[in-house]
Amino acid sequence: MTSILTNTSAMSALQALRNVNSNLSTTQNAVSSGLKVGKAADNVAYWSISTTMKSDNKALSAATDALGVGAAKVDTAYAAMDSAKDVVNEIKAKLTTASESSVDKTQVQLEIGKLQEQLSSIGQSASFSGENWVVKAAGSSTTVVDGFIRNSDGTVKITTASYEAGSYAMFSAISGGVGTGGVLGSVMSISLSATTTQGQIDTYMTTVETALKKLTKGAAAVGALSKRIEMQDTFSKQLSDAQKSGISRLVDANMEEESAKLSALQTQQQLAVQSLSIANSSSQQLLSLFRG
């Protein structure tokens, strides 16, 4: 039956066109944005997971940046310890020279005094971003941010690497430009005079040797921390790349697939428009029934 009030063919064609237009709009959005899941309505589960992963990845990126700051602090401390070791070796050489009976010990002390001043200068200068790891009170420690993790229960945590700075510090304090305490405090007390005996020089040599061993141990600890930071930095970058890849699998559109779908939908749209046109024209044919 043909009705002039209800055109079921046109209604069916129109519904088909609406469906095609809806799918075409979704595909065009995917092609233009590159995302198959751009909002929660597209896929609640994938959108939720990807949003959390993006947030975690951003935090991990910040932790990686913090590693760079930590690495700079470690490098500064190591440079100071390495330079101090060379200066202490020079003091050791001067004490050896002073052991010669014909040497003027007061002249040797002038050189040792300048070397002691250099040690204080090194300690005072080894500061990065306001933090000095080689001038620390005994027992103090410092930390470096090295990562961000999300636990299985959903809680998050910032991880750190610690360094017992107070145990390896060159000085515990610097007052009036002169370092005191710490690994090199005893070296700073070395003082030769014309009356200094060989026994006293031998004691100074023992003091210097002890300081060198502690400096070497401290430099080794800093070196180990530097390696730890370097490895963590590499891992963090790899982890960040893996997370980005995981997010991509969840929300990124397959451009080859979307391109093929777009072409098909455009063809379907043209056919649906043509079908609607045919359905609408059928009612016009009723007029011929009323022509005499």
pTM above 0.85, yes or no: no
Q: Which residues contact 189 (CB under 8 A, 6 or more apart)?
A: 207
Query: What tens digit of pLDDT does each residue of 61-82 get?
Result: 888 888 888 889 999 999 999 9
Q: Which residues contact 181 (CB under 8 A, 6 or more apart)?
A: 138, 171, 172, 173
Burial of 5 (0-12, 13-18, 19+ CB in 10 A): exposed
Residue 69: half-sphere exposure toward Cβ, Cα within 13 Å: 14
Query: What tens digit of pLDDT does each residue of 184-199 get?
Result: 999 999 999 999 999 9
Tracing tokens 């005499």 back to the chain, one arrives at 292
Mean pLDDT throughout 166-194? 93
Burial of 75 (0-12, 13-18, 19+ CB in 10 A): middle
pLDDT reading at 30 higher than 70: yes
Query: What tens digit of pLDDT does each residue of 236-261 get?
Result: 888 888 988 999 888 888 888 888 88
Q: What pLDDT is attached to residue 292?
A: 55
CA distance 186 to 207: 7
Vertex 81: Cα angle to 215 and 229 (nearest 5): 105
Tracing tokens 């590499």 back to the chain, one arrives at 234
